Every structure is written in structure tokens, then in C-alpha cells.
Amino acid sequence: MTRPSGGAPWPDATTRLVVLLGWPARYSLSPAIHNAAFAEQGLDLAYLVAPTREGDLEAAVTGLGAIGAAGANVTVPHKQAALPLCDHLTEEARLVGAVNTLVWTTDGLLGDNTDAVGLQEALTDDVSVPRGDRMVVLGTGGAARAVAVAAGRLQVELTVVGRRADAALDVAELARRAGAPSAMAVDLAEQDAVAAAVAAAHLVLNATPLGMQGERLPDPFHDLRAGQVAYDLIYDPPQTPFLRSAADAGADAHHGIGMLVGQAAASYRRWTGRSAPLGAMSAAAVAAVAERGRGS
């Protein structure tokens, strides 16, 4: 799995693929992050994006297995749809109820989830999150489920805000199973309850795609104050309307690059069996965002 040396052409006939499956997925920084890591360690692997529409996921996964791909990442909207396609699931994937990492093994397709680990590490590095702290998350999809697991392991009190009450309740229950001392669900339509939950929280997270195209979150999420922390799992653009309004109000604002690199490092270990070169991965992510900001 080592790249040819001595200036030989690369990639070549031995190079194996790692692929990101999602839609639209072209925004992803994962190719920059992982290709920098592969280069740093001289691995004969190449990371590409394969935009995959809903309904095409099974065909894409089957095709990757047929051509001997080394692995794959799965992103929105496929993280939960990937579960039944796997022959085996890690305990983490079972707990989160979503898959973001695929590995083809001699025993079949293994599904894992590295999002919760990545987020927990990022929160620990970026934000003071004491036990019993209050956290609010907007969203009920695969990313929100990872937030719930991370919140449980950090033993914070979590409120889940979602458009579907049953889905929000399910995410809240997941947080309790993961160790949260308390977790509740709030219907997004109940604006007063949402506003009260956001006002009472120390840490407010966005686990939806809203903001990638400049969209605002529901109004209560734009009414933070100094002393609160806004954390957006979106990393491109690095300053969403949610983070901009939080910073303008004096709140701390953090984008999702820390989580992205953390979960990428855990996926990398799955595919390669090696410790990830975090410095190279982080530098590649920051450089890619800066390059996009210059309009390239």
C-alpha cells in the first residue's frame, strides 16, 4: 500500500480508492484532508468524491466493493440508509444509529461511525464543557445522533430541537442511553419553548445543513448572548449566518473543522491501521477553506 518512489508516476495501476458518498458532496474538504494524510505517510491511496443521489446508494456501495475500494465515507443524506447495506456494524455505529465510514474486509462490509468521537474531541479541545452543562442541538438526522452520543459521554443536559417530535424524542433517548443526566425534546413549532431552551443553554449546536447556502436558522438560534457558545457542524463556509450573529452578540463561535478532522482521523485509522497525521490533516483543511475564500 506504499506509493512508488524515485519519481515514478502516481497514481498508477496499484492505487486504491477511498470515496465519499453523499449528495451533493462537492463542497467537501475530505479529499484535501485525506489526500494530504496519504501523501504524508506515503500511502498508495487516493480519495475522491462520488456524488450519490438518494436511491443510488446501494448501487454505489456494491460497485465500490466490486472494484476493490479500500474504504469510503458516507455523508448526508445517506448515513442512516447505509446501515442495512453493511454485513457488520461496530458498536459505535449501532449506538449512533448511523454509518459514516465503510471498510471492505475479508468478512464483508464493515460500517462504523466516527462522528461522535470526532465531535467529543473537538468540543473538549475548543470549548469548556463541564459535567452537567446545558446543551441544545438543532436537528434529528445522523449528525444530531452523533451529537447526542457525544453529549451523553460528556454528561451534559441536552435539549433536542426538531421539526418532528418523534424524531427529536428518539435523539433525546439516545443521549440518555449514552450517559446524559437528562435529555428532552422540543418541537420546533413551539417557538416559546425553543427560545427558552436556547436561552438556558451554554452550548448551542447546529446539526443541520442550514447555513451552507447562507440560510438562517430559526430565529431563537440567532438570539445568543455573551457567555454562550455557538457551534456549527458546517465547516464551509466557516462563518454561517448562525455563527456570524453569535459573534456579533459577543458569544463564542466555532465552525465544524475540528470535528471534521477528528472524525476523519478515526476513519483514517480504520482504513490504514495507522495513526493519522493530524497536523497535515488540519493544515490541509484550513488551507482548502482559505483557498475557497479567495474565490478559487
Provide the annotated active-site residues.
79
Q: What is the residue-wise DSSP string for 122-177? A: HHHHHS---TT-EEEEE--SHHHHHHHHHHHHHT-EEEEEESSHHHHHHHHHHHHH
Cα 140 to the center of its chain, rounded Å? 13
Q: For residue 124, which amino acid is it?
A: T
| 131 contacts 155 by C-beta, under 8 angstroms | yes
Q: For residue 123, which amino acid is it?
A: L
Instruction: Supply the angle between the helices 165-177 and 142-154 in degrees, to the nearest 10.
Output: 30
Residue 288 parent element (H or E): helix 278-293
d(CA 242, CA 215): 9
